[in-house]
Structure 1
Amino acid sequence: MSQRTYNEMWAGAQLELSQLLIEELSAEPPRPEKDRVVFFQRLAVLYVRYIQIFRQLEKVYDQVVHPQKRRVIRAILDGVMGRVVELKNEMVEKEFSEYHYMDDVLHDLKLTPRDLEIPIPRYFSSELNKELQEQKMMLADILKMMEVTGSPEPLVTKDMSQEEAIKIIQVMERARQGRLRAKLNEESWNMNRMYRIKGSGKVGTELAALCIQKVWRGYVQRKRTKIARDEEMIFLGMAVDPKHQVPCPAEITAQAIEACTWIKQEEHEEDYQKSIVTLTNQLRNVEGHDMSKTMKDQIRQWFIECRDATGSFPDYPDEEDGGSALIFAVKSPQQLIEEIAAKEEEDTNNKPKGKEEKKEKGNDVEEEEAGLMMLPSAFLSDLEVGSKTFVDFWKTRNESKNFNQRHEIELIKEEKRKIIEEEIRKQVDEQMRQELAEWKLTVDKDKGGKTKGNAKKKKGSKSGKKKKKEKDLTADRALESLFQELVEQGLLKKANNVRLQDYLGDYSYLGTTLRQNDIEPMPSLADVRQVVSLYAVLPLGSQVVHEKAPLIKAILLAGPAGVGKKMLVHAICHETGANLFDLSPLTTAGKYPGKSGLAMMLHMVFKVARLLQPSVIWIEDAEKMFYKKVPKEEKELDPKRLKKDLPKSLKMIKGEDRVLIIGTTKDPLSADIKSLCKMYSKIILIPRPDYGSRYILWKELIEKRSGEVTKALDLSCLAKISDGYTPGHMVQVIQSVVTKDRILKQATRPLTADEFVGPLAKIDPVFQEEEEALKSWYAKTPLGKKRIKAATGKDGEEAPVKGKDAKKKGKK
């Protein structure tokens, strides 16, 4: 598509966004909603509409080549992503569930389940910094060095007795003789057949001709029937035309145009950066002197006006308050003096009053308003600024002369002129403060003590509690050496090349129906993929989203073995370019012994993770860290050694640190649930796949293995009989059936469902009892308890009040 098309798409997304902003930022806030279902419906509509804007802006940002437009789109895109994450968090708090089913909303908005998919912005991986790319190269080089320098395993020679050697020779000789005998038998059978054919007369020849005709005519008719049936199915729209299965020339051309567009983006960005440097220097050299002179004249005029109005020279505004920027505001000298005095009073009286005011406000809100209200957003103000920028600059801008979509010089000058003015203003402030002090000494000698008093006030205001700095145990070591040590110890690993789209699964079509009948449905794998992208991929990929959205430090993926927990961890790292640290109990066993060694290991991991962010710290078998009772065979490994220190390290992660801890567990029942829930703020339950997901998994996995899915292969039957089996089981079965030899024989003997039944029957599935045990365990988590209370008619938010009442009754 052309750049004009993407500009129109951007305008359409901005129009929809402006309508949403008008609804959310209306002058009259909506009244508290008492009905939880109605409130959730309102949230769900907003959520779906923001996702549609998100999908459009992601396409636009990926293909627009204008560097200045891309910066505006990027800011709006980050704001929309953050708002989607906020709405998701709010839906979880109001519905008490990580998974939501919005079939009715999709039906009303005339959308498909695919439109609800969260897209992963392509700039997460394409716009990786040079530093991140160097880190990846350094990791690959260290791993190669470890492979080369690693000592090869010595060849083990097994002693063999004379009897065993004779037995092996006898077996080989008998096999050779058997092959020779079979070859002689085949040759004799062929000779006898030739003699029989030669001895037959005219009658035998006619019979042979009839036989050949019969076989040939049957073959031709079956082929015609098959062609006619296929044409009929294509005509009815029940089958895909083979010519559409192969990429058409238009698709190939579109892909080539996209690749050219990415190259243009890089070229235009380089030109834009060069222009910024040259224009900044030009403005500083040409206009800098005039700016400085104008500012000084205005400030001197302000000194004189204040002297005439108040009888004394004013105090120069502090740099923290804005310096001379306050002077240039359209205000009288008296107003400025009053403002400065009012700010000083607020600074002195702000701390003790803050807590009392908050308490009073909180009590008023609780007393006056009862019901559900939307939480304040940290992204709506940014979206409003971005929308205003679009309307002011880009909506009606004439770009007929900018066919190649290069940067615009005037916009660069406007932006850089403000920055240069700020730089010059700071220099002018220093000079004018000295000049004002000289004026006061010469004219107002008796009032010179005020500046000293102000200085003392400043010193007093700075006094406060000093924050304790974290001790750096590796201050004398370079980052490269820490990086290399973690790789050599196996604590820093290379993530597999897996995308989140490879985590296959279908949409849950019965979720709304089951909830209407008071049945809590198990989520589908597509729901799991969506939750992971919202909680992990978007915050790790965007610094703005991570800082302003609700902070999630740790996620626990719980589910049976083979549902793809490990794959999701690697997919998160691949999509965001994050480094993968492994603090699993089996990995850390025997490394860095003792308390000092444990402290050093955690310090190194978290230090490198924060310096080389984004980072993912993976804990496989997370339940072992919080065992109720450690098994005898695992006591030597000491799996609980990180139980106390890891939560302390987790507290050090702040909003600006794009570091995420991900735990995976297949047996959460063996862990202490309270300790586990304190560690992981989000617990995502991954079930065994449903029928729709199993159907997609069989089809995609067989085709990925180079198998052909024909009509002879009944996928529906396979999906039905594989109920209870995980994607890992399916991969194992497909690898055993679709071998290299079987792939070569597909042309004459297509794959059938019977071939997969035998290997599938040898594997134990995830039984219903195991899934019910996981569901009952999840019901004991904080969110699960709230969900049960809401389902039984008790509001989850009233739980704390009831707890207090219960304590009072207990005391009586």
Structure 2
Amino acid sequence: MWADAQKDLDIQLCKERGEFLQPEKDLVKVFKLLATSYIKYIQIFRHLETAHDQLVHQQKQAVIRQVLDGVIGRILEVKREMVKLENSEFHYIDDILDDLKLLPEDTEVPIPRYFIKEKLEVLQQREKTLDQILLDAGLQIEESVEAMTPEEGVRIIQVAERARQGRRRAAFMKRIYLKEKKEKQPKLQVQMGPSPDDAATCIQKVWRGYIQRKKTEKMREEEMIFLGMSLPPHLETMSVSQMHARQVNTPQDEVQETQEELSIKDKLRETEGLYIKKNFQDEISQCFIECRHIIGKFPDYPSEEAGGSMSVFDSQKTAEQIAEELAAQREMALQKKDQKGKKENESKEKKKEKEKAGKKEEEEGWKMGPSNFLSIMEEGSSRYKDIWQNRDEQWDFLQDHDPELIKEENRKDVEEEIRVQVDKVMQQELENLRLAVDGEGSGKQKKGKKSEKKKATTGRKKIPELEQDLTPDRTIDSLYRELVEEGLLIKAKTVNLSDYVGEYNYMGTALLQAGVEPVPSLAHVRQLIALYGILPLGSQTVHEKAPLVKALLLAGPSGVGKKMLVHAICTETGANLFNLSASNITGKYPGKSGLLMMLHMVLKVAKQLQPSVVWIGETEKIFSKGGRKTDDEMNPKRLEKMLPKFLQAVKAQDRVLLVGTTTRPFDANLKPFCQVYQKIILIPRPDYSSRLVLWKHIILQNGGVITNLLNISCLANLSDGFTQGHIVQVVQDVLTELRLLQMIRKPLRTEEFVTPLARQDPVYKEEEESFKAWYDKTPLGRARIRALVDKEKEGKGKSKGGNKMKK
């Protein structure tokens, strides 16, 4: 599977080099290229993730992990280009799936299992700590076990013992009755059953058949082992136990491997350390002498910031090249003073050049932007080809780590450590040579210190409020405990993204061709949550280099599963969940200083224990249009000015995501609302196909049994306009404990769900249209409407031109 995925990846990389680098004016063709590569990358991602999860060899896992990060990041980059091209988060690619002979399920974004598996022990310990803090604070009630009095215990034992004695007595009386009945029957002289010879023949026949089947089964097993298609029984059981131990004790294996790496590094220092040190010293001293012959005096030793001897004294460079580089560095230092006045003119010229380049690109057509992940994927592919593709692994039956590969990796670290030591020694030796040969010292250290001091004094910048450390004397544990006790850090419910059930909209492309805007499906929503919420939070490399999404808004009617999706993000990534909803922070940390302290604590703990999700429920209240005359600590709008600063303090390396949920986004001021939330996902009510799957899933989940008397299609039609929350409530109202006990003799019927469904308030068409009208006012919605208007104008212009030609 790994080999096949790597082949597909190489083919895809070759296609990208050929197709994406050339400008293209036909935007329909561009979108088809992007959608095809998006689907291909998702397939590669799925195969690589499965291979990473199933392989035991940890060095192989490291190579796959590198490629996986590159593929995930490339998927996000391609998705960004698709959104820019169509001005929409939801794409309908049924025709492309048909061309590739794939199903809509193949476009489902998989969630990597290593997000949780790699830190399972840490998450379990954190959950125990959180439960203990909640119990101590009285925010969580421990499940009480009712104690039994001695009298009740004695009574239960007496009842059980008397019942046992009654059963024994009844069985004894039954045996006596049967014995007496048998004695009363007259004895017949006629022989009953077969003769002894026939009975012996029957027994022999059965026994010989059994023996022969065993022999045949054993021969088949030996043949499969000989062909290499199965393992011997003892090795098979050992591999299963190893897999179980790997799943349970993965951190212990990692500790053993790190200990072995440390021992290998120590051995390298002992065996090769002196040899490496001597080589470095000889190489650098030879460079000193040759440079003096060329320049006429000894060169300046490079500083630690510039990389030390690594930056100049490279084994592949000659002495003349080194001398030229040192002279160039000196000239650059002198020219820096003269270049201050030229910077403004250069910046203006660059702006003009950028504007010209932008106009040229518009004239030439679309072209794919630069990628941060192609180099990562290419590096991972080359590592696979160099090390693992043609590697003979017959000797490594247990798939243990390869010590030679560990040596090669650690040798670089050892060389860097020794090079730092050599730099200090050789710098002093260079000073001694200058004094002995030329009779002069460097005299630049003091100047350097003064310049550093000047830089330190002049280069001070004002640190933003939320980035200042307001709690330097407090530990993360104490801040964590305080946030839990205040109810700002809550326990996330265990919900997987796959539990958010919903089908793909199979009519999307047909509706678009007919000029009708299709309603997004729940499968689309699930994909966007995986792309913007789960994948960046789970991987540090992806979060740093992929298109950064700091804030996400989930908007939709009540009951469509917004809170469930927030908990799913936390479950799939193992993230902490902070609740900064207006109702939750009311009366807590009053005043501006209190609010600043609260946000500082949340940000500090979220960064330290990342990944983290900061959830703001009913977020429209923070940006509401009308101001309310209330106290400062009771005012939900007090977060309005602080949220942009909060997002500014979140950097690319911080895996912190702000998620807002709202049922009335049209009550908020649009401009500040859209400035805070970069990505807005509008969650619709479920369509017919999704309701059909939902009814089945929820009835089975609550213990129901679906028979022919229960018409699911009828329920899906009747529940048009109702959300997932309504369906869950109806099923729970019907399937009570008493009704579940009656299920065997009284199957479920359709009419049982109709009356509870009629009591629910559906989402009316006016409310749904208000959500669509609000979404059209967002930046992405406006851009989409503008693009559609431009297309209509182009179409009318072409038709008018055609009529003139005809006339």
Contact 2:58-2:401 at 8 Å conserved across structures? yes
Q: How does 1:355-370 map to 2 (within 5 A)?
A: 355-356=347-348, 358-370=350-362
Does residue 485 of the first structure (1) align with residue 485 of the second (2)?
no
In the alignment, does 2:313 pair up with 1:316? no
2:773 is matched by which residue type in structure 1? S
Q: Deviations over 1:244-279 (max 9, x none)?
A: xxxxxxxxx999996466358666544422220111
CA deviation vs aligned residue, 1:342-383 (integer Å, no higher than 9, x gap) = 345557648865735642541341243222221211111111
Aligned with 1:74 (options 35, 55, 65): 65
Q: Given that residues 632 and 638 in structure 2 are in contact (C-alpha distance below 8 angstroms), is that contact kept between their aligned partners in structure 1?
A: no
Q: Which of residues 357, 377, 383 is equivalent to 2:371? A: 377
Question: 3-state DSSP class of the match of 1:616?
Answer: strand
Tell me, in whole angstroms, the C-alpha distance in 2 between the residues paired with 1:151 and 1:48. Answer: 48
Q: Distance in 2 between matches of 1:572 and 1:631?
A: 33
Q: CA deviation at 1:319?
A: 2.5
Look up the match of 1:31: 22
TM-superposed CA distance for 1:23, in Å, is: 2.4
Q: Is residue 336 of structure 2 the alignment partner of residue 342 of structure 1?
A: no
Q: Displacement of 1:601 after TM fit?
A: 1.4
Within 5 Å, give how 1:106-185 maps onto structure 2.
106-128=97-119, 131-147=122-138
Q: Deviations over 1:702-722 (max 9, x none)?
A: 000000011211111111110
Q: Which residue matches 2:319?
A: 333
The superposition leaves residues 790-812 of structure 1 with CA deviations (integer Å, 9 ceiling, x where unpaired) of 1122699xxxxxxxxxxxxxxxx
Q: Deviations over 1:166-219 (max 9, x none)?
A: xxxxxxxxxxxxxxxxxxxxxxxxxxxxxxxxxxxxxxxxxxxxxxxxxxxxxx
Q: Decide whether the 8 Å contact of 2:628 with 2:635 is kept in 1.
A: no
Q: CA deviation at 1:122?
A: 0.6
Q: Does 1:403 align with 2:394?
A: no
Q: Report the equivalent of 2:269.
A: 284
State the match for 1:90 in structure 2.
81
Q: Does 1:298 align with 2:283?
A: yes
Specify the SS of the correspondent of 2:680. strand
Structure 1 CA distance, aligned partners of 2:765 and 2:401? 61
Counterpart of 1:641 in 2: which secondary structure?
helix
- For 1:51 and 1:463, the matched residues in 2 are separated by 51
**Candidates 10, 16, 19, aligned match of 2:2:** 10
Give the length in aligned residue pairs: 688
Does the 8 Å CA contact 1:615/1:658 hold for their aligned counterparts?
A: yes
2:655 to 642, 652, 658: 658
What is the match of residue 192 of structure 2?
A: none
1:566 aligns with 2:563: yes
Taking the TM superposition and a 5 Å limit, the aligned residue runs for 1:673-712 are: 673-712=670-709
Which whole-Å CA distance do the structure 1 matches of 2:15 and 2:246 have between them? 36
After superposition, the C-alpha distances for 1:450-469 in whole angstroms (9 at most, x for unaligned) are: 77777777777778633433
Instruction: Provide the C-alpha distance between the structure 1 equivalents of 2:142 and 2:418, rounded to a whole number of angstroms.
Output: 63
Could you tell me how far apart the structure 2 residues matched to 1:392 and 1:507 are?
Answer: 41
C-alpha distance in 2 between matches for 1:340 and 1:135: 54
Farther-moved stretch of structure 1 (614-623 vs 597-606): 597-606
Q: Distance in 2 between matches of 1:674 and 1:132?
A: 39
Aligned in 2, Cα 1:261/1:137: closer, same or farther, shift over 3 Å? closer
What amino acid is the match of 1:400?
Q
Range that drifts further, 652-661 or 475-484 = 475-484
Change (3 A) 1:318 1:472: closer
Alpha-carbon distance between aligned partners in 1 of 2:57 and 2:111, rounded to the nearest angstrom:
22
How far did 1:120 drift?
A: 0.6
Paired residue for 2:786, among 786, 789, 796? 789
Note the 1:269-668 alignment, pairs <5 A: 269-325=254-310, 326-343=312-329, 345=331, 349=336, 353=343, 355-356=347-348, 358-370=350-362, 371-446=365-440, 448-449=442-443, 465-469=459-463, 470-629=467-626, 637-668=634-665
- The offset of 1:730, in angstroms, is 0.3
TM-score where L is the length of structure 2:
0.81
Q: Which residue of 1 aligns with 2:165?
A: none
Shift of 1:76: 0.8
Contact 2:20 2:368 in 1 (8 A): no
Please tell me whether residue 49 in structure 1 is matched to residue 46 in structure 2: no
Residues 706, 743 of structure 1: 8 Å contact kept: yes
SS in 1 for 2:91: coil
CA distance in 2, matches of 1:137, 1:324: 50
Deviation at 1:446, TM superposition (A): 4.8
Tell me the SS of whatever aligns to 2:613: strand
**CA distance, structure 2, for counterparts of residue 149 and residue 91 of structure 1:** 46
Residue 760 of structure 2 is aligned to residue 763 of structure 1:
yes
- Cα distance in 2 for residues equivalent to 1:361 and 1:518: 40
Match of 2:233 in 1: none
**Structure 2 CA distance, aligned partners of 1:415 and 1:731?**
54
Q: Following TM superposition, by how much is the alpha carbon of 1:332 offset from its aligned partner in structure 2, in angstroms?
A: 2.1
**Counterparts of 2:780 and 2:771, CA distance in 1:** 14
Q: 1:391 to 1:357 in 2, by over 3 A?
A: farther
Offset from partner CA, 1:266-324 (integer Å, 9 cap, x none): 66544422220111111111111111112111211222222223322222233333322
Quick one: structure 1 residues 644 and 67, their matched pair in 2 at CA, closer, same or farther if it must change by over 3 Å? same
The runs of 5 or more residues in structure 1 that have no matched partner are 1-8, 153-252, 797-812
Work out the CA distance in 2 between the residues paired with 1:762 and 1:707: 21
1:329 and 1:363 map into 2 onto residues whose CA distance is 43
SS at 2:328 equivalent: helix
Cα offset, 1:592, TM superposition: 1.2
Q: Which moved more, 1:669-678 or 1:464-473?
A: 464-473
Aligned residue identity for 1:30: L
Identity %: 52
Judged with a 3 Å threshold, the aligned counterparts in structure 2 of structure 1 residues 621 and 315 are, in CA distance, closer, same or farther, namely: same
Give the distance between the partners of 1:11 and 1:266, measured in 2 at CA: 27
The one-letter code of the counterpart of 1:126 is K
In structure 2, do the counterparts of structure 1 residues 671 and 436 end up closer, same or farther at CA, with 3 Å as the change threshold? Answer: same
Q: How big is the alpha-carbon RMSD for the aligned residues of Structure 1 and Structure 2? A: 2.7
Q: Is the 8 A contact 2:591 2:633 kept in 1?
A: no
AA aligned opposite 2:735: V
Distance 1:741 1:454, change over 3 A: closer
Letter paired with 2:414: I
1:223-302 aligned within 5 A: 259=244, 262=247, 269-302=254-287
Map of 2:219 onto structure 1:
none
Contact 1:67 1:407 in 2 (8 A): yes
The answer for the alignment partner of 2:96 in structure 1 is 105
Question: Distance in 2 between the 1:151 and 1:387 partners?
Answer: 52
Aligned to 1:182: none
Quote the Cα distance in structure 1 between the aligned partners of 2:694 and 2:11: 40
**2:391 counterpart letter in structure 1:** R
Q: Which amino acid aligns with 1:582?
A: N
Q: How big is each residue's C-alpha offset from its partner over 1:428-452, in whole Å with a ceiling of 9 and x where there is no partner?
A: 0110010011000111125745777
Query: Using the alignment, how far apart are the partners of 1:546 and 1:795 within structure 2?
Result: 39
Cα deviation, 1:544-573, whole Å, max 9, x if unaligned, reads 111101111111100000000000001111
